[in-house]
Amino acid sequence: MMKEIAVDLEKDNQSQMVKELEASFIELLESSEDCTHFSSAIQSFGNGYQPGEGPTDFKKLFDDEIAKLKASSSSVPQNHPLLRQFREAIWSVHHAGQPMPGEEHEDIVMTSTQCNLLNVACPLSGKPVTELEDPVRSMDCKHIYEKVVIMQYIRSKNARAQCPMSGCPKILQAERVVCDPLLLIEIDEMRSMSKQTTRFDVIEDFTELDEEESD
């Protein structure tokens, strides 16, 4: 995990390497966003293309579609929750318990415990996403599934497979249900958060036990 590596580097006061790793992390977020736009442009172009009388400049049409998608996107890598968590982890190495510069403590607590995944279990298999052998995510509704199970489900619906997540109206397409660049990172983040929560619960249980013995 890039975050764990950055934390170790920060502990060793390797600030320049931490900055370089953060820059690489931002590039990864940007690449993930580009992949999403690229896939959406292909789908939009394929659905709406009408051949004309003259030769078609496919590159220009495709570039224009990507530019339009980027212009309408509200996603900014600098504001991505994963980048926020990355920076918080580094900050806490030497400033544990202190708010990051220019930010309220309450905001930090909320962000640190925030989960970026829309669902915590596959709606078909019931398995927690942290236990999925081959997780994939819909590029349209962002829900996560076990790959084998969701692909069987899509095939069984003859191209009219509505997302099995309760209340989700999106129609799934096999080529748009993938393991995107950030999915495994976000699942690892969820695992880390779960371990931290478990550890805090154990500490709390011991505290309550000590209080009972004192009584």
Q: In this structure, are 178 and 90 located in the same domain?
A: no
Average pLDDT, the chain: 78
Each residue's pLDDT tens digit, 45-64: 666 667 777 787 778 887 88
Using alpha carbons, list the distances in angstroms from residue 199 to 3, 26, 163. 20, 30, 35
Indicate the SS3 state at residue 79: helix
Is 61 a member of any domain? Answer: no
Quickly state the pLDDT bin for 111 (edges 50, 70, 90).
very low
Are both 20 and 101 inside the same structural domain?
A: yes
**Alpha helices, H only, the chain:** 2-11, 15-48, 58-72, 81-95, 105-112, 147-156, 183-214
Quick one: pLDDT at residue 139?
85
20 lies in some domain: yes
Instruction: Say if residue 37's pLDDT is above 90.
Output: no
| More confident of the two residues 106 and 208 | 208
Pairing of strands 161-162, 135-138: unpaired
For the chain, how many structural domains are there in total? Answer: 2
Whether 102 and 121 map to the same domain: the answer is no
Domain span at 76: 1-46+66-114
Does 102 share its domain with 133? no
Band of the pLDDT at 87, cuts 50, 70, 90?
confident
Predicted pLDDT at 48: 66
Q: Is the pLDDT of residue 176 over 50?
A: yes
CA-based end-to-end distance of the chain: 45
pLDDT in tens, 115-172: 578 899 999 999 999 999 999 999 889 999 999 999 999 999 987 899 999 999 999 9
d(CA 28, CA 212): 50
Residue 139 lies in a domain: yes
The CATH code of the domain that includes 170 is 3.30.40.10
For residues 192, 110, 129 and 135, what is the CA-based torsion angle, rounded to 10 degrees?
A: -90
Does residue 157 sit in the same domain as residue 75?
no
Is the domain of 167 the same as that of 94? no
Q: Which long-range contacts (CB under 8 A, 24 or more apart) does 8-12 make?
A: 10/90, 10/93, 10/94, 11/93
Residues 101, 20, single domain; the answer is yes
Per-residue pLDDT at 161: 92
Report pTM.
0.55
pLDDT (tens digit, 9 = 90+) per residue, 93-104? 888 777 777 665
State which of 114, 144, 170 marks the end of a domain.
114
The two structure tokens encoding residue 166:
């309760």
